Amino acid sequence: MLGTILYAFGFVGFILANEIVPGGLTGIGSLLYYVTQIPVSLTYALVNVVLLFIAFKILGRRFVINSLFGVIFLTLALILFEWLFNEKRLSKNKSSCRLSLVLSYVVPDWGSSSPRMAVPAERTSLGA
């Protein structure tokens, strides 16, 4: 679930905002979004419904049930972040700074979130 949230945040906040087209269903959805302004989450959900129906016929119920979890959570995360970014509640620059600060807590200390890895505000663009 955390992976789908991070993927959706990165996709909507960076890839979609900078008009980059990735591969896969989100890439198809982003192409349609650039042309028609149909949200990527809607395209992603509708195409996945068709693909899951085909998979049910070919691969069976167990495969579809296992895949549904990822499809539902990624769709919901895409809806959330599309709403946040499209309504200007988060801007590209502010979200970049927030993500950088979050990663600075976790990455340098091999995955721990120890407070000693905090970035002082005066050393970032957020400082006064």
Residues 112 and 100 in one domain: yes
pTM to 2 decimal places = 0.65
Structural domain of 115: 91-128
Inter-residue contact 41 to 77 (CB < 8 Å): no
Q: What is the pLDDT of residues 9-67, one digit of tens each?
A: 988 888 888 888 888 888 899 999 999 989 999 999 999 999 999 999 998 889 888 88
Residues 58 and 118 in one domain: no
Residues 55 and 117 in one domain: no
Inter-residue contact 65 to 76 (CB < 8 Å): no
Overall number of domains in the chain: 2
- Report which DSSP code applies to 88: T
Q: CA-CA distance, 85 to 66, in Å (whole number)?
A: 30
Half-sphere exposure (Cβ direction) of 107: Cα atoms closer than 13 Å: 7
- Tokens for 106, please give them: 């976790």
Residues 67 and 117 in one domain: no
